[in-house]
Amino acid sequence: MDSNFLTLASQIQVEEIYAELGTTEEKIKYDVETIMEWSRKQPHLPNLEGQKQKVKSFLLACKNSIEKTKQKIENHYTIKTLLTYLTHIELTNQFIDEMNEYYVTTPLPMLTNDANRITLIQLKTGDMTKFSYPNLTKCVIMSFDIRSSKLDNNKKEILIIDMKNYTISHITAILPHVNNFVLCSMEGFAFRLQSVHYLNVPSFGVSVLNLILSKLDKKHATKIYFHKEVDELKNYIDPAILPTNYGGTFPKTSEELMDDWKNELLKHRDWFEDNNKLLVDEKKRVKKSSYTFDSVDGSFRKLEID
């Protein structure tokens, strides 16, 4: 772990996470090696020799199930290959400037007492001409990816999504991508979801949120909360963690935190370039996968794992 931005879980918190999952550091190392050995026998998968931290994160997110971790790895790299318009990250100056000017998609530096990581997502402006949902999604995905692969050791994820600056035009632009977004976030990445908190939801945004909820299983759907006031967040999250413009006492605003997080991401530009190359090669797949897209927007079936 080499982040100057994120406060990591303490050794005690890490041991508590392991105990809850019925594992130990020694067993995790053994299980990761087992998964790595399996991956070497899958010629269609990319070379994962430099991805042990991500494999470990996936293993913990899959509650220490080796078979579920194999499936999640298959999901991750297959979806990453099929939906490059959402997952291919190039930290060009133009993309960085756009990210910094239009979006806040930052993890909050402090963990909760349970070692959960909070990510705050908001639009800085309601100007539709400056909005790209694929690019907003990329900003979210890149944070999850770099954290699980390199920078973080948290237990579960908490999302705060502020819809204050959304207009009907934003909702219209989002709708064509809903299936792919749900596919990427729920099937393509490994994380344990604690809760999602929506703020300032406009009346015209309810329909798209209902659409998203309809695509989630019951377990995840019950973790979604809607708040009329920002102050309601304090009933769920320690104010010491929240930025000042969200009723918290952490001594920075969300935009200032986003600026810090942007600088953190830029330190790992080479990592993102290398990560873009980690794709599946379907021509080399030994056992044909039943995982297919009927169309670009995300009809999918379960992977078969050897």
Q: What is the pLDDT of residues 100-152, one digit of tens each?
A: 899 999 999 999 999 999 999 999 999 998 899 999 999 999 999 999 999 99
- Neighbouring residues of 75: CB distance < 8 A, sequence distance ≥ 6: 187, 188, 291, 303
Residue 77 to residues 44, 160, 179, 276, 279: CA-CA distances in angstroms?
10, 27, 18, 10, 6
In the predicted model, residues of the chain with pLDDT beneath 50 are 291, 293-306
So what's the pLDDT on residue 213?
76
Query: How many domains does the chain contain in total?
Result: 1
306 located within any domain: no
So what's the pLDDT on residue 306?
31
So what's the pLDDT on residue 207?
77
So what's the pLDDT on residue 299?
40
Q: Identify the CATH number of the domain in which residue 218 sits.
A: 3.40.525.10
How many angstroms separate the CA atoms of 213 and 304, rounded?
A: 26
Whole-model pTM: value is 0.90
Order of strands, sheet of 117-123, starting from the edge strand that comes earlier in the sequence: 103-107, 117-123, 157-162, 193-199, 224-227
So what's the pLDDT on residue 130?
83
How many angstroms separate the CA atoms of 196 and 185, rounded?
A: 13
So what's the pLDDT on residue 9?
96
So what's the pLDDT on residue 305?
32
78 located within any domain: yes
| Domain housing 106 | 7-279
How many angstroms separate the CA atoms of 78 and 184, rounded?
A: 10
